[in-house]
Amino acid sequence: MTQIGIGVIGTGYMGKAHSVAMNAVGAVFDTALKPVCEMLCATTESGAAAKAKTFGFKRSTADWRTLVEDPAVEAIVIASPQSTHREIALAAIARGKPVLCEKPMGASLDDARAMTEAAESAGVVNMVGFNYVRTPATQYARQLVQSGEIGNITWFRGEHTEDFLANTNEPGNWRTRGRATGTMGDLSSHMINCAMALMGPIATVNADIETVHTRRPSADGGKQEDVTNDDHAHCLCRFESGVMGHLYFSRISTGRKMGYAYEINGTRGAIRFDQEDQNALWLYRMDDPEAERGFRKILTGPAHPDYIDFCQGPGHGTGYQDQLIIEAKDFLNAIHGGKPQWPTFRDGLDTMHVIEAMWQSHDSRQWVPVLHSA
């Protein structure tokens, strides 16, 4: 058994998820590399120590540099705010340490470009945390599309919709301040990555971006404060394959809790998926008898990618945390094999290029080409 020391930076929503995944992945997938939870970093020494005890880490620190420089930490997971990603990633890469970075890669396109160029120049294993695309159902949908099961694709629709800021009385917070943490900076990257995973590169976009609730109560109960980023956005797009598409992202989509959903139309069939029912994929085949035509609900099971390691029973299902365990498996396998695992930093950079093109389209009120990385 070969062990590898893991350091996780961040102890919030995603920091906890990655920590739990690293504790579980070796048992679930029997990976060649067995992770050792070596060090955890939070914003205060006391907080880091408490979370390290809870999450099963040997040591803790309030300084990410201490974690990155520690020789026992051999691979790093970045789960801190996106404004910190670039500096941490560059420091880790300079020391030859593999990096799994949460999406979005950085606070800007420049951040993503710098991280990608540094990782590729150094030959360091790198990966971006697009976890939703790893569900057994979506992995199977990708296989169906690539195998031609539903024929030539004619249309794609994707959305990432939630309602955590649908209530106009919800106080302003870090999510409502600054472009990097708006809906385009937060939610859009997941569905853009999914769209490109299923359909290939996006060639052009025509986008509209809006702040619906321009003022919110301040967190201290005082006066109203300005919202300085976007609530929702949508765009028409054309993929390089010629397929037309539509994308929509929202944090004010009333009633939607995890509306990561897509529809794919082909000349021989169609696919539908909704993350709120992540263990089901809906498939329509035109070759079915006329009397039986209609969308068929497929329950994920051992025949679908990455399912059987969790459960031998079809229809029993996987959950959100399991997506992170699959992601951890892929990261460890990439390190063991010595080469990056999709989605790499370059895939994350391509996602950022689409986001930048959407902003340019919104500002210019016209179609804009997407400049993909070389």
Q: Is 251 exposed, middle or buried (0-12, 13-18, 19+ CB in 10 A)?
A: buried
Together in a domain, 104 and 172: no
Q: What is the pLDDT of residues 184-216, one digit of tens each?
A: 999 999 999 999 999 999 999 999 999 999 999
Domain-ending residue, one of 99, 132, 165: 132
- The total of structural domains in the chain comes to 2
Together in a domain, 203 and 232: yes
Give me the pLDDT at residue 339, please. 85
CA distances from 246 to 153, 179, 184, 326 (A): 14, 22, 15, 28
Together in a domain, 109 and 146: no
Give me the pLDDT at residue 221, please. 77
Give φ, ψ of 154 to 5 degrees. -115, -25
The span from the CA of 207 to the CA of 184, in Å, is: 11
- Locus of tokens 């497929």: 298
Q: What is the pLDDT of residues 299-329, one digit of tens each?
A: 999 999 999 999 999 999 999 999 999 999 9
Q: Give the domain range for residue 58.
A: 2-132
Together in a domain, 168 and 87: no
Give me the pLDDT at residue 216, please. 96
The span from the CA of 370 to the CA of 332, in Å, is: 32
Residues of the chain with pLDDT under 50: none
On whether the CB atoms of residues 130 and 158 are closer than 8 A, the answer is no
The C-alpha angle with vertex 161 and arms to 155 and 164, in degrees rounded to 5, equals 175
Together in a domain, 155 and 194: yes
Give me the pLDDT at residue 373, please. 65
Domain-ending residue, one of 78, 100, 132: 132
Task: Map residue 44 onto helix, strand or coil.
Answer: coil
The span from the CA of 175 to the CA of 178, in Å, is: 8
Q: Is 117 exposed, middle or buried (0-12, 13-18, 19+ CB in 10 A)?
A: middle
Any idea what the CATH number is for the domain that residue 180 is in? 3.30.360.10
Domain-ending residue, one of 132, 165, 183: 132
pTM for the full model?
0.95
Asked if residue 323 is part of any domain, the answer here is yes
